[in-house]
Amino acid sequence: MAYLRVYEPLSAFGEPPSEQLEKAVEAATLSRATVGEREQCMWLKSQVAVPVRLLPAELANGKPAPSTGTDVLVLDPEDVPGEVGPGPLVCPLELRARSAAALVGFLGDAPPALAATVLDASGVTPEKVRSRTTAALGGLPKAAVHVLSTTWTVPLPWFALVDPAERRLNLGTGQDDPARELSWRVSMSDALTRAAEARELVENTLGDSGPARILEETERWLTNFDPRSAVELDYGGLVQLIADPILESDTSAEEVHSILDALRTGNVEQLAELFNDLREYWSELAAREHFN
């Protein structure tokens, strides 16, 4: 799973922030290397609980579990290029709310027969789902979650937000090393500027669907947060699926920025070549979804 995260200054969570949050930030028990394992653990716990929980990080009565206020990632402003902070910078996992949003999306898009099967297996009614998901989303400190995630691939428009030269690469001891990383960090102001410029360029040349729509949605999402925040694009668990030589030579961010340059200059030949290279690279990873 890959992630796009926003880390806000602690002051953005209240003046003063809650004592529970302050203690969680001071302890900083989670890292980007362990966050995937933590999310997986919370999902599994929700399924083996009796009764089964509708959402992870939720109690049997539908109330949020204490972990919803303590599961946070913490970042030092010095680790982010550009003007951010003051620190510490905080990204709540908000797994309960993110799961609620995903459930609402699934039930809205799934064929009625499949949606009914899922509800029956969970022993819940549509009314109960609406009530629980509304409560979970209503408990967010902001109008949006701090984390967007995708499985098997990274949406190419996300690369437009970052500076390719600021890549953070750690191959670790191999593909199973939790410390293995490929990520970028950027200030909110730079991310918003790049998103707006890329969206306008893509809209003017390719229209307002596809990549332009993703850029517009991402830009709108970013505006929910403090302008002194940091944004992180993280390959997350995808790095465990990519061999060292391929991960080390990954040029997806460079190629997306080259595509934007080709759009500016009208270089159709270069544009087609870059699109083909990216499609081939990411389609190999995306294809694994059909085998799982």
76 with 89: CB under 8 angstroms? Answer: yes
Encode 51-80: b = buried (16+ Cβ within 10 Å), e = exposed: eebbbbbbeeeeebbebbbbbbbbbebeeb
From CA 147, how far away is CA 28, in angstroms rounded?
17
Strands (E), the chain: 2-9, 72-75, 89-92, 147-150, 168-170, 181-187, 230-234
Specify the length of the chain in residues: 292
Q: What is the pLDDT of residue 158?
A: 96
287 with 258: CB under 8 angstroms? Answer: no
The low-confidence residues of the chain, meaning pLDDT below 70, are: 287-292
Q: What is the pLDDT of residue 236?
A: 92
Dump pLDDT digits (tens) for 59-80. Answer: 888 888 888 888 999 999 999 9
Q: What is the pLDDT of residue 92?
A: 94
Dump pLDDT digits (tens) for 2-46. Answer: 999 999 999 999 888 888 999 999 998 898 888 888 888 888 888
Among the listed residues 166, 152, 142, the one whose alpha carbon sits nearest the alpha carbon of residue 222: 142
What distance lies between CA 58 and its chain's CA centroid? 21
Q: What one-character DSSP code corresponds to residue 52? A: P
Among the listed residues 289, 237, 182, the one whose alpha carbon sits nearest the alpha carbon of residue 35: 237
For residue 34, the SS3 value is: coil
Q: What is the pLDDT of residue 205?
A: 86
Angle, helices 188-206/252-265, rounded to nearest 10 degrees: 50
Q: What is the pLDDT of residue 248?
A: 94
130 with 119: CB under 8 angstroms? Answer: no
From CA 128, how far away is CA 150, in angstroms rounded?
26
Q: What is the pLDDT of residue 90?
A: 96
Q: What is the pLDDT of residue 43?
A: 84
Q: What is the pLDDT of residue 239?
A: 93
162 with 190: CB under 8 angstroms? Answer: no
Q: What is the pLDDT of residue 160?
A: 96
